[in-house]
Amino acid sequence: MERINDKILSGERITVDEGLELARAGELHQLGFLADSVKKKLHPEPFITYVIDRNINYTDICISACKFCAFFKAPEDEGGYVLTHEELGRKIEETKELGGTQILLQGGLHPDKPLEFYEEMLRYIKSHDIHIHGFSPPEVCHFAKLSGLPVPEVITRLQKAGLDSIPGGGAEILTDRVRSETAPRKCSADEWLNVMEEAHKQGMRTTATMMFGHIETMEERFEHLDRLRQLQDRTGGFTAFIPWPFQPANSVLNHLPTATAVEYLKMLALSRIFLDNFANIQASWVTQGPKIAQISLYFGANDFGSTMIEENVVAAAGIGFRLSELEIRKLVEGAGYTPRQRTMDYTLVNRA
């Protein structure tokens, strides 16, 4: 353990086995100290960043039926929705009024909308002049499948229609065992990574996520992190990593317990330590609440994520935390940092 500590403190990369050893025997304070030292080396400036954006979930109709999801409606269910351009426009204008710089555009895997539908949506949103962070890899794969076009071409067309960057959602756990047991109709681990690699090659930045604390093992979590680290070595296209614990309420897996705060902080710290080639790690206040999110800033997080003017997916699992930009700034200041608004690619925003 002493050797692993020294390695991390001297800025050396740790192996999967060393990561697993830290996960097994590392104490909370130790992981905090180590993650904090890695964070401070990458971010010597006293800033904690956040982005002002809004989640827009253009539809909740989804053919994927993942067991951990409380948000979707199956195509045959009643009450599913698809947002109109008018509704989209109103949400975007509200976002801009609040100082928002981007929208996070994601939705269910709709059974029959053609690629042109999404292109039109992008062009419409782009007419409002805002950064579009949209369509996670499962959506991109789904569009490719429905249209019969290869993934690279789908990405090219989406980008041309206005897509600026791709969110890291739908990664869940990037191993095929976990995916086949919880989300068999969602894209495979390889497909997810392939979308990201392709997007990076075409010059788009993306984020990466991990949803942990359901049926996966610690080894599988590290396989996930390792695959992300390898891809990042090849492309450097990821801007940030966002781990959060599975919220079981209202999902098919509601018999599982929710990961505790200590488990969250440890996983956050392990991610910061292991993903040495990721510049930014985000705290998940939506799942952890303001208090633990603030504590996260000592466990490797350098970013408070989004103000989430609207959030529907976690809310569907019965988690009701809401934070205003002002509250986020106060939490950051309370931790001794200067809060700074940023854009998707972590450029700082100067607002009058």
Partner 1 sequence: MDKMVRESGLGDILDKIRAGERLSTDDGLRLYKSPDLLAVGYLANIVRERLNGDKAYFIYNQHINYSNICTNLCKFCAFGKDKESDQAYEMSIEDVKTKVRERLDEPINEVHVVGGIHPDLPYSYYLEMLTGIKEVRPEIHIQAFTCVEIAHLAEISGQSIEDTLKELMEAGLGSIPGGGAEVFSPRIRELTCEKKLSGEGWLKVAKTAHKLGLNTNATMLYGHIETLEERIEHLDMLRKAQDETGGFLTYIPLAFHPKNTELPDLTRTTGIEDLKNIAVARCFLDNFPHIKAYWVMIGPKMAQVALSFGADDVDGTVKEEIITRMAGGDSDQALSREQLLRMIREAGRQPIERDTLYNVIKAY
- Answer yes or no whether residue 29 interacts with partner 1 by CB under 8 A: yes
SS (H, E, C) the chain: CHHHHHHHHCCCCCCHHHHHHHHHHCCHHHHHHHHHHHHHHHCCCCEEEEECEEEEECECECCCCCCCCCCCECCCCCCCCECCHHHHHHHHHHHHHCCCCEEEEECCCCCCCCHHHHHHHHHHHHCCCCEEEECCHHHHHHHHHHHCCCHHHHHHHHHHHCCCEECCCCCCCCCHHHHHHHCCCCCCHHHHHHHHHHHHHCCCEEEEEEEECCCCCHHHHHHHHHHHHHHHHHHCCEEEEEEEECCCCCCCCCCCCCCCHHHHHHHHHHHHHHCCCCCEEECCHHHHHHHHHHHHCCCCCCEEEECCCCCCCCHHHCCCCCCCHHHHHHHHHHCCCEEEEECCCCCECCCC
- Answer yes or no whether residue 292 interacts with partner 1 by CB under 8 A: yes
Q: Which of 11, 15, 28, 201 binds partner 1 (CB under 8 A)?
A: 28
Q: How far is the CB of 287 from partner 1 (least distance, A)?
A: 10
Stretch that binds partner 1, among 12-20, 65-73, 128-136, 256-264 (CB under 8 A): 256-264
Which of 91, 214 has the CB closer to partner 1? 214
- Which of 149, 83, 82, 79 minimizes the C-alpha distance to 111? 82
Q: How far is the CB of 327 from partner 1 (least distance, A)?
A: 8
Q: Which of 13, 67, 73, 330 binds partner 1 (CB under 8 A)?
A: 330
Q: How far is the CB of 323 from partner 1 (least distance, A)?
A: 12
Stretch that binds partner 1, among 26-34, 106-114, 128-136, 187-195 (CB under 8 A): 26-34
Cα distance between residue 249 and residue 266, in whole Å: 22
Q: Which of 12, 17, 27, 77 binds partner 1 (CB under 8 A)?
A: 27
Which of 238, 304 has the CB closer to partner 1? 304
Which of 111, 318 has the CB closer to partner 1? 318
- Answer yes or no whether residue 36 interacts with partner 1 by CB under 8 A: yes
Which of 309, 319 has the CB closer to partner 1? 319
Q: Count the residues of the shown chain that bind partner 1, applying the rule CB under 8 A.
A: 28
- The contacts of residue 182 (CB under 8 Å, 6+ apart) are 66, 67, 68, 172, 214, 215, 253
- Answer yes or no whether residue 331 interacts with partner 1 by CB under 8 A: yes
- Answer yes or no whether residue 96 interacts with partner 1 by CB under 8 A: no
Stretch that binds partner 1, among 16-24, 232-240, 301-309, 331-339 (CB under 8 A): 331-339
Q: Which of 13, 33, 126, 197 binds partner 1 (CB under 8 A)?
A: 33
Which of 48, 109 has the CB closer to partner 1? 48
Cα distance between residue 295 and residue 77, in whole Å: 41
- Answer yes or no whether residue 254 interacts with partner 1 by CB under 8 A: no
Calculate the CA dihedral of residues 56, 71, 113, 149 and round it to 10 degrees: 90
- Answer yes or no whether residue 265 interacts with partner 1 by CB under 8 A: yes
- Answer yes or no whether residue 37 interacts with partner 1 by CB under 8 A: yes
Q: Which of 324, 334, 345, 347 binds partner 1 (CB under 8 A)?
A: 334
Stretch that binds partner 1, among 140-148, 259-267, 272-280, 338-346 (CB under 8 A): 259-267
Q: How far is the CB of 12 from partner 1 (least distance, A)?
A: 17
- Answer yes or no whether residue 114 interacts with partner 1 by CB under 8 A: no
Q: Which residues of the chain form contacts with partner 1 (CB under 8 A)? A: 27-30, 32-33, 36-37, 257, 260-263, 265, 288-295, 298, 330-331, 334-336
